[in-house]
Amino acid sequence: MDETKLEGHRDSIQNELAQVERLNSLVEGNQAAHWIHSTLMKKMDKYAFARSLVLFCLFGFFLGNNLGIFLWLYITVTMYLIFYRVIRFWVKRWLMYLIEFCYFGNTLLICYIIWFGQSIEVFYTVFVCSTGVMAFAVIIFNNQAHFNSTDHLTSSYIHTFPLISVWAIRWRHLIYPVDNSSKYFNFCNFNSEFQFSDNYALSIYPILYWLFWAGFYLLINSTLLHRYYNNPKFGSGVRDFLEAKESLKFIFGDLYRTTLLKYILQHFVFFLAALPLTWLCFYNFKINTIYLILIIIFLGWNTGRNNMKHLEKKLIKNEKKNKVEENYNI
């Protein structure tokens, strides 16, 4: 086989083996976006393990010793991760994910911690949202805490740390011998017994907040973003809904008709389904703690399961590569 034919075979092998995701058009035409995509994000993932290990050790230490510092750490890291996601999603054309409910939930929790600590109504809202539909998202959206992926860790963080934070605030009088949070924040007192009549407040305020988000989501998507949400170049929760499993198509029928309303209805069903569990968690420390542990266990189990799948796919890919190379005698 002469050199020219050999080079041609090598090129064909490379084309066959290269399963590289097509670069987004924004990256292709923008030098800054290309640098972020090809350099900055790779560096973020390269040092993701070390960075995440330090952060989780700090979170664990202060959660067990000083609630006030833990909450300041939560606020700082959340703002940092949202800033990271704005940059990341801008490059990937996934900015519409930033108007999903989990970001609204994290934002309201930060506002409660800093400014509205004495408002029981705001706490009802953040507790139900963080313990309910946002924590359920770990299961629904298959969250994975891969320590070598900033993206996966961020998704896991925004759905689990609000749950941990409201658990610590709600039961701080049982968890900490000395509540140091009063040095930093002014929270209302939860020492008194709550009656089940409070379920009205535990329902109405979170639902009103959810309706506010739903109205905002529908308004933005139906006016400014209506040309993008069903475009495969742009990632969003609505786009994921359109590419959903057959079970959703069986329930909702044609997903391309009244898509936004069907997507909002699906979200509302998840929100309502989580309400009874959030009531139990609010009234009972043990149930709240067991539920939190189960969510974390599921996150870890899901991470391990998907790592094994990834390893299996990698082994299969390597086997195919070896077979192709053998066929071309290289």
Q: What pLDDT score was predicted for residue 16?
A: 47
Helices 259-283 and 133-140: angle between axes, nearest 10 degrees: 120
Q: What pLDDT score was predicted for residue 179?
A: 84
Q: What pLDDT score was predicted for residue 193?
A: 58
* Contact in structure between 274 and 136 (CB atoms under 8 Å): yes
Is 125 domain-assigned? yes
Residue where the block lists tokens 């192709």:
324
Is 182 domain-assigned? yes
Along the chain (330 residues), what's the average pLDDT of each consecutive run of 10 residues?
51 48 50 75 81 90 94 96 89 88 96 93 95 90 77 89 96 89 85 61 92 95 81 84 81 85 93 93 94 92 74 65 60
Q: Give the Å distances, CA to CA, from 15 to 2, 19, 26, 317.
A: 20, 8, 23, 14
Q: Give the Å distances, CA to CA, from 114 to 11, 76, 197.
A: 59, 12, 28
- Which residue segment(s) compose the domain that 170 sits in? 23-327
Question: What token pair was written down for 323?
Answer: 């077979």
Total tally of structural domains belonging to the chain: 1
Is 30 domain-assigned? yes
Long-range contacts formed by 261-270: CB under 8 A, 24+ apart: 261/218, 263/237, 263/238, 264/214, 264/217, 264/218, 266/241, 267/101, 267/133, 267/214, 268/210, 268/214, 270/133, 270/136, 270/140
Question: What token pair was written down for 219?
Answer: 């308004």
* Contact in structure between 279 and 198 (CB atoms under 8 Å): no
Question: What token pair was written down for 214?
Answer: 């739903």
Is 16 domain-assigned? no
Is 15 domain-assigned? no
Is 17 domain-assigned? no
Is 106 domain-assigned? yes
Q: What pLDDT score was predicted for residue 198?
A: 66
Is 8 domain-assigned? no
Q: What pLDDT score was predicted for residue 27?
A: 53
